[in-house]
Structure 1
Amino acid sequence: MSSHQQKSLHGKVALVTGSARRIGRESALLLASEGAHVVVHAKTSRDEIDAVADEIRAVGGSASTALADITDESQAQGLVDEIVAAHGRLDILVNNAAIRRETPFAQISLAAWREINSVIVEGAFLVTRAAIPHMVRHGFGRIVTIGGVSAHSGVFHRVHVATAKAALVGFTKALAVEFGEHGITANLVVPGRIGGNRSATSGAGGAFPGGGHLLVGHEGEPRNVAEFVRILALPAGSFTSGQTIHVNGGMYLP
């Protein structure tokens, strides 16, 4: 048996939405390092997802890429359909795609409110709904959704983001309850302050009560969060479901 076949996720297929950069990118790299075939996804960033897939393949991993607007029902369904047509299955779904704009509450338009919720909540719903039947059919599934500390601690100028991220808590718990008997787990990983370059849709990082004090004294890195995505996808994570897992350096204490 080859070393690749000995890896824990050999034979599994994973989709990481919004995986051109940061937490999504690191999650794709780590899942691939465990033997999964990873579909690297973005809405429009073709060059960036190609670079991530090339990085995976350069170290012997398996990856492909896909562009899709997951807020569009037909594109979300088509994304999953294409993966299953190519690989026969979809075992691991990481709902990472998000936008995190900063706007004072009184200035948030209805269009902006709906834009945030369409990506964070409806996008996760549409892709998960498309993926679930295939997980049920194989009696195995790992759904990991990326939350936001703003939903738990409160935040300035991100009421729309905090509301959308809070919805993911109930989303995760309900999935865990409904599909646990089919061998499917669902968990929410909640990052705190994560350093590095942010995308144009991420804002400045959010202003939190008390300044968002970190007990460990420094911001985290995308890989700190991605490590928990990896754990939840591995056999070691099989007894964890319906949980909200905070990875925030002590910024927020539940």
Structure 2
Amino acid sequence: MDTTDRELTGQVALVTGASRRIGRAVALGLAKEGAAVVVHAQSSREEIEAVAAEIRAAGGTAMAVLGDITDEADVARVFAQARDALGEITILVNNAAIRGEADFLEMTLKQWRQIQSVILDGAFLCSREALRGMVAAGGGTIVNLGGVSAHVGAKSRAHVSAAKAGIVGLTKALAREFADRGVTVNCVAPGKIGGARSASAGAAPEMGAGPILGRPGNVDEAAYMIVSLCRPGARFTTGQTIHVSGGMYMP
């Protein structure tokens, strides 16, 4: 890991859902910039331990923490554990999500609520816990993970599209509420990202035309934008949704 340019030295970052794909790439990218990283997952102990070990092997600082981000008490425990080990969280990346497919007319309330609980409730609980510390410390950075489906729709994924659209609204509301307290809040909305998908993600959803660049993106391209929003040079950017979709969606 090249650590010659370490703009985030002294920062402590928590990345939810960091066991694989974009979350993993973000954790590694933040560590490369000098941040101490809390690598989180709900149940993938071996995978997050491997990510944390990779960071430490390259000379960085990291810890792996399991936790249920839909549970208020467990979120408080995760943050307390991270704070005790590494210090106050100054960067939060709300990446954790689950996906699923269900035709709308057959979608159950349980399926609907399960998606909302992880994507929206999780972002709410983690952001609230992080912001308490950020406000006391005089500032911080939150980057939420949205998705192109919130903007173009996705067949059989109304629950996911709705939850990701909620993330956009949450981003704007928090950016406005905490602007005078030194906190920036932005959203990155990836489009079609290549590579192996987890079993829970299912097949790539049907969302109309693909990227105009003619290829899917990769996790490092998505992570680059997320990490960039955590750098000091991004302090004048807040309340924005930035699309990393190869031109699949152009607002």
TM-score, length-scaled by structure 1: 0.96
Note if contact 2:189-2:244 (Cα within 8 Å) is conserved in structure 1.
yes
1:36 aligns to 2:52 (yes or no): no
Letter in 2 for 1:237: A
Which residue in the other structure is 1:116 paired with?
Answer: 115
Which residue in the other structure is 2:237 paired with?
Answer: 240
Which residue in the other structure is 2:97 paired with?
Answer: 98
TM-score, length-scaled by structure 2: 0.97
Note if contact 1:5-1:35 (Cα within 8 Å) is conserved in structure 2.
no
3-state DSSP of counterpart to 1:100: coil
1:8 aligns to 2:7 (yes or no): yes
Which residue in the other structure is 2:207 paired with?
Answer: 208
RMSD over aligned Cα atoms: 1.3
Tell me the matched-pair count. Answer: 250
Shift of 1:156: 0.3
List runs of 5+ in structure 2 lacking aligned partners.
none
Shift of 1:137: 1.1
Shift of 1:121: 0.1
Letter in 2 for 1:241: T
Shift of 1:196: 0.4
Between 212-221 and 108-117, the greater mean CA deviation after superposition: 212-221
Alpha-carbon distance between aligned partners in 2 of 1:191 and 1:10, rounded to the nearest angstrom = 27
3-state DSSP of counterpart to 1:233: coil
Alpha-carbon distance between aligned partners in 1 of 2:214 and 2:140, rounded to the nearest angstrom = 36
Alpha-carbon distance between aligned partners in 1 of 2:3 and 2:195, rounded to the nearest angstrom = 31
Note if contact 2:148-2:190 (Cα within 8 Å) is conserved in structure 1.
yes
Alpha-carbon distance between aligned partners in 2 of 1:17 and 1:11, rounded to the nearest angstrom = 20
Percent of paired sites with the same residue: 52
Letter in 2 for 1:122: D
- Runs of 4+ in structure 1 displaced over 4 angstroms? 3-6
Between 92-101 and 51-60, the greater mean CA deviation after superposition: 51-60
Shift of 1:133: 1.0
Alpha-carbon distance between aligned partners in 2 of 1:151 and 1:6, rounded to the nearest angstrom = 35
Which residue in the other structure is 1:219 paired with?
Answer: 216
List runs of 5+ in structure 1 lacking aligned partners.
none
Shift of 1:88: 2.5
Note if contact 2:115-2:159 (Cα within 8 Å) is conserved in structure 1.
yes
